[in-house]
Structure 1
Amino acid sequence: MSEQDPKCRLPSMGEVGAVMIGFIAIMFLYINVFSLPIQLALFTSWFLVMALGVKLKYSYEAMQRGLIDGIHNGMEAVLVLTTVGALIGTWIAGGIVPSIIYYGLSVMNPQIFLFAAFIICAVTSLSTGTSFGTAGTAGVAMMGIGHSFGIPLPLVAGAVISGAYVGDKMSPLSDTTVMTASLCRVSLVDHIRSMGLVSAPAALIASLLFLVVGFFYIGDSVDTQRADVAMRALDSHFIINGWLLTPAVIVIGMLIRRYPAIPVITFGAVLGIICAWLAQGVAPLDAMRTAYVGNAMTSDVDFLNTLLNRGGIESMLGVIALILFALGLGGLMERIGVLQAISNGFLRWANNPGRLTVSTMLGGFFGNFFGGAAYVSLITASTITEKNYDQQGIDRRVLSRNTEAGGTITTPMVPWTDGGVFMATTLGVSTLGYLPFLWYHMLVLLITVFYGYANIAIWRTTDTREETGGAAVEVRT
């Protein structure tokens, strides 16, 4: 939380509410009425929050430090986004993504495709710990296969993102998982076990839903001729070969081995350049150029033109600007005490496990909505309500589980967060387009709230005194 300047005061809940209403009004007017870019709406919102900061007696220098700190703390996501843009451009030009799509179309049954996409992305994310890496590799390929089968892209994106966030939330290799355990001061193993009570049934039910939809909806409406046309078009525009799958295997393998994501993804882009040069016959400089400008092709199949004319760092520049504005807004709100004021309000309201669960999840959602990044949501969800868990004698394993549910899980549900922007840009489907199909995410939220109000897996802590030594011993029940 922000360090309070003794000359300044915390905002009242009325002032916080006014800022929230103003923020929502700006977003609605800019996007829906004036058709202005969302980046401009977020930039304008900076000055709305600054106006409150001035009223609270904060100097401009203090608020600017908040902006800069917020942006600085989220720069890793910007760097990952940049490298993934390069990866997508070079992997398409190098025939890697087209080869994955081609072989996927040749072996996958359309009726089980959504189920398979969810499972493949879940296994990949559990193995690598990254939803971004999963969506940028396996996810892009699944979008191509699904589109070739004639399956609505928002539905495919829902299966991909649902699977990608299984690992982002549960993998011991995930930065959000490790960060949450650290913020809540619980062991990583205890944190994962606690989440498993929610994530396991949510993943099982979500996989069954995708399977049922495949059999009863896609089974009757799938256009297999479209898949055949797509395979012929891919074969005519790219050299399709099994060895072109090697870069994908190498990159995923290195991520599994816990090598840093940014250099690994960059190395994958270099492999894509080499494949474009040696396998596809692209001139070396043109192959390198695809890392920045993306791939360009023309075919008789319109959806392939849309799907494969993309990628490159250049395609991510608008997205990067959006994330920077969102991160700056989150840092500014932290600096002037908006998050602290919300925390104080929650402390008075959350007087039972059900309300406490909801307050933690709302804290995470507010962090995403106003902070624009998963790391902000995890901080707000944990710090806003942690005192209440201790006061009510509820184990911090419950806090960590609820923090991930409200923070990590809601990140791709907000259009201007790093996760929401990344998924929409990488998969080519708007956030509001894929939102109704994030079935794993919705199930996690529902089950978490149900556990809170039904008092399921709400472990208690008590302090007792052992006769020997008189030391205080925490007992978990």
Structure 2
Amino acid sequence: MKNTRLPSMLEIIVVLGSFLAIVGLFTVKFDLPIQLALFISWFLVIMLGLRLGHRYQDLQQSITTGISNGLEAILILVAVGALIGTWLAGGVVPTLIYYGLEFIHPSIFLLATLVICSITSIATGTSWGTVGTAGIAMMAIGEGLGMPLPLVAGAVLSGAYFGDKLSPLSDSTVLASSLSKVEVITHVKAMLYLSVPAYLITAVLFTVVGFIYGTKNVDLEKVEFLKNALQDTFDIHIWMLAPAIIVIVLLAMGKPSLPTLAIGALLGAIWAAVFQDMNFAHAIKTAYNGYVIDTGIDFMDKLLNRGGIKGMLDSVVVIILGLGFGGLLEHLGVLKVIVSKFQRKLTSAGNVTLSTLIVAFLANFFGCAMYVSLILTPKIMEKSYDDLRIDRRVLSRNAEVGGTMTSGMVPWSDNGIYMAGILGVSTLAYLPFMWLSFVSIGIAILYGYTGKYIWYTDSKKQANT
């Protein structure tokens, strides 16, 4: 059996630099699918692995292992696609849009978007499900009110990720805590010290900006036109929201996400047949093909023609290829080598915190998936925390902030592709408005360097509280 070695920094720079060059050329210059760029990049890393002495069979196994680690995300994505298709057909999402236009005042719309998406995400434990349901509705309402859509997307994502990193039902919360060897509830309590002030600051920012835009950009005629168009196209009544309430209650009760979302999709199809006069077979078909309607109104058609499992297939391929790429990088120890170069500087809570956030972001950036980040970061950084006797709660909190809160910032990551596709706004367009993410990162760094809410396993050292 051949001896293997870790890659040198030069080899890492060449391979990762080539990866970025391929992604840039494919997506920016030649307008080619990012899926092809990721697939080609597999073989860059495989060639490096062979050069380091690894067997091809082991490298291929690392690809399948990486993919298997994120299969749950793929299954959830498929279920969310089915849910969106039938909830549009069944009038669930259109009813949400209608009542939002009816009751949410434009000046507090951005704050309402933040709060509604936060509550939905905490209750359901899924940022993807939140964005695919409440998020779509808030984007439509925002467009009707004349709000800049990247700004609305920022409020949607801030709310969705707030709940995703606090809900005990969230897979990212469970992953960050379990891999850091911390109880889920203990992890959530540690997150609260950071998340609550970050949320309050973000709420103030969206409130201030909302008053600026909400008092001068509202086209009341467009709002009324949209409401009338929705009423003409769908049967709009409060009981249209029953499938959404049932799904939220089931998820809040801790029921498994996949069957719960599937039940929600089935209810959407039933609602389409019973209340929207759609043939039941056609209603079921929207779970796969998505909802398609020709109202003759371009704005309405753009708003409503989406969803379905088929609409998620591009994202599914990106996630599969990204997870495989991340599995290869983990097998070769790429991030471990990068961290080892700075290991001697990790002598304080501040430096360790900053390094954890950087490692988590790099895992999203090069691993192309939040799962890769949340799996790799605790593994790579745990020794640094133990050496300084910093409690693992701090590790799980920092891994969550760095992994979950930056996952939607990378255009070719699973979250970046999904969020941009669902919200209809490019990743780079909504990125500047992911205010909760930026504030959370800033507070995490502040805590690290000031010692605030940094807990130690050594009883002689106490946290500054």
Q: TM-score, normalised by structure 1?
A: 0.94
Matching of residues 183-262 of structure 1 within 5 Å: 183-262=179-258
Between the aligned partners of 2:152 and 2:130, the Cα distance in structure 1 is 14
Q: Distance in 2 between matches of 1:18 and 1:350?
A: 26
Aligned residue pairs, count: 463
- Unaligned stretches of 5+ in structure 2? none
The one of 435, 439, 450 equivalent to 2:435 is: 439
1:362 positional shift = 1.1
How many Å separate the matches in 1 of 2:188 and 2:240?
A: 36
For 1:56-99, what per-residue CA distance to the aligned partner results, in whole angstroms no more than 9, with x for missing partners? 01111111001111111111111111111111111111111111
Partner of residue 147, structure 1: 143
Distance 1:428 1:415 in 2: 13
The answer as to whether partners of 1:74 and 1:375 remain within 8 angstroms in 2 is: yes
Q: 1:132 aligns with which of 121, 128, 135?
A: 128
Point out the more displaced range, 118-127 or 447-456.
447-456
Q: Give the Cα–Cα distance (whole angstroms) in 2 for the partners of residues 392 and 223 of structure 1.
A: 57
Aligned to 2:455: 459
Contact 2:109 2:214 in 1 (8 A): no
Distance 1:144 1:398 in 2: 38
Correspondence 1:348 to 2:340: no
Q: CA deviation at 1:463?
A: 7.0
Q: Does 1:412 align with 2:408?
A: yes
Shift of 1:123: 1.3
Q: Which moved more, 1:61-70 or 1:280-289?
A: 280-289
Q: Pick one of 366, 370, 377 that aligns with 2:373.
A: 377
**3-state DSSP of counterpart to 1:36:** coil
Quote the residue 1:467 is aligned against: none
Letter of the 1:190 partner, please give it.
T
Tell me how far apart the structure 1 counterparts of residues 182 and 291 of structure 2 sit (CA, whole Å): 46
Question: Whole-Å Cα distance in 2 between the matches of residues 51 and 425 of structure 1?
Answer: 32
Mapped partners of 2:372, 2:443: distance in 1: 23
Q: 1:462: Cα distance to partner?
A: 2.1
Q: % of aligned pairs identical?
A: 50
The CA deviation at 1:112 is 0.6
TM-superposition CA deviations, 1:38-66 (whole Å, max 9, x none): 11111111111111111101111111001
Post-superposition Cα deviations, 1:324-361, rounded to whole Å, max 9, x if no partner, equal: 11011001111122133223224233222222111111
SS at match of 1:287: helix
Within 5 Å, give how 1:198-347 maps onto structure 2.
198-347=194-343
Alpha-carbon shift at residue 10 of structure 1 (Å)? 0.6
AA aligned opposite 1:94? G
Question: Does 293-302 or 101-110 show the bigger shift?
Answer: 293-302
1:221 partner SS: coil
Partner of 1:471: none
**One-letter amino acid of the counterpart of residue 185, structure 2:** V
CA distance in 2, matches of 1:177, 1:6: 39
**Structural RMSD (CA):** 1.6
Distance change >3 Å, CA 247–CA 437, structure 1 → 2: same
AA aligned to 1:186 is: V
Answer whether contact 1:395 1:476 (CA < 8 A) is retained.
no
Q: TM-score, normalised by structure 2?
A: 0.96
How far the C-alpha of 1:300 sits from its partner, in A, is: 4.3
Distance 2:221 2:133 in 1: 26
Residue 6 of structure 1: how far off its partner (Å): 6.9
Q: Which runs of 5+ in 1 are unaligned?
A: 465-474
Q: Which amino acid aligns with 1:332?
A: L
Tell me the equivalent position of 1:163.
159
Q: Deviations over 1:19-49 (max 9, x none)?
A: 2211111111111111111111111111111
Which residue of the partner structure matches residue 104 of structure 1? Answer: 100
Partner of 2:384: 388
For residue 314 of structure 1, report the CA deviation from its aligned partner: 0.9
Among 5, 8, 26, which residue is 2:4 paired with?
8
Amino acid of the structure 2 residue aligned with 1:399: L
Q: Retained in 2: the 8 A contact 1:158–1:439?
A: yes
| Deviation (angstroms), 1:162 | 0.5
Q: Contact 2:330/2:376 (CA < 8 Å) preserved in 1? A: no
